[in-house]
Amino acid sequence: MKKLSLVILLCFGIQLISAQNFRKPYREAKRALNKKDYVTATLKSIESLKAKKNFKKSNDIFEKALSQINTWAASYIKELEASAIPYEDYQSVASMKEIFITYANLDNVQKKLLEVSNSLSSKQQKFILLHTVDYEKNRNEAENLLNAYNNNAADEFYTQGIKVFNNAKNKYEYREAYKIFQNSKNYVEEYKDINAYLDKSLNLSILNIGYFPVRNLSNNRGNKKAMEDLVSNTTGFFNNYTFANYSEISNKIQLRNLGILNDKGKAQLKNIDELVKFKFSRYYAGPTVIKSKEFYSNTKEKKKKDGTVKKWYCEGYKYELTASGYVELIVEIIDNNGDLLDTKKINISKEHNDSFFLATKDSDRRAYPLLKKYRTNMPQEFNMPNALRNIFNSYMSDVFKRYK
Q: In which band, very low, low, confident or very high, does the pLDDT at 22 lie, cut at 50, 70 and 90?
A: low
The tally of CA atoms less than 13 A away on the side-chain side of residue 199 is 3
For the chain, the 3-state helix, strand and coil shares in percent, each to the nearest 5, are 55, 20, 20
Q: What is the dihedral of CA 59, 61, 66, 70, to 10 degrees?
A: 180
107, 137 contact by CB (below 8 A)? no
Domain boundaries, the chain: 19-134, 147-205
Q: In which band, very low, low, confident or very high, does the pLDDT at 13 lie, cut at 50, 70 and 90?
A: very low
Give the residue ranges of DSSP H helices in 239-365: 252-258, 263-268
Q: In which band, very low, low, confident or very high, does the pLDDT at 251 lie, cut at 50, 70 and 90?
A: low
- pLDDT of residue 10 exceeding 60, the answer is no
Q: In which band, very low, low, confident or very high, does the pLDDT at 272 lie, cut at 50, 70 and 90?
A: confident
* pTM for the full predicted model: 0.76
The predicted model gives 365-382 an average pLDDT of: 87
pLDDT at position 56:
80
Q: Give per-residue pLDDT as tens, 95-111.
A: 999 999 999 999 998 98
Q: Regarding beta strands 207-211 and 215-216, do their DSSP bridges make them parallel or antiparallel, or are they unpaired?
A: unpaired
The predicted model gives 223-228 an average pLDDT of: 90
- pLDDT of residue 169 exceeding 50, the answer is yes
Instruction: Flag the least confident range among 92-96, 101-105, 127-131, 344-348.
Output: 127-131
260, 275 contact by CB (below 8 A)? yes
Instruction: Flag the least confident range among 167-181, 188-202, 245-259, 376-390.
Output: 245-259
3-state DSSP assignment of residue 334: strand
Contacts of 216 (CB under 8 A, 6+ apart): 223, 224, 227, 280
Q: What percent of the chain has pLDDT over 70?
A: 89
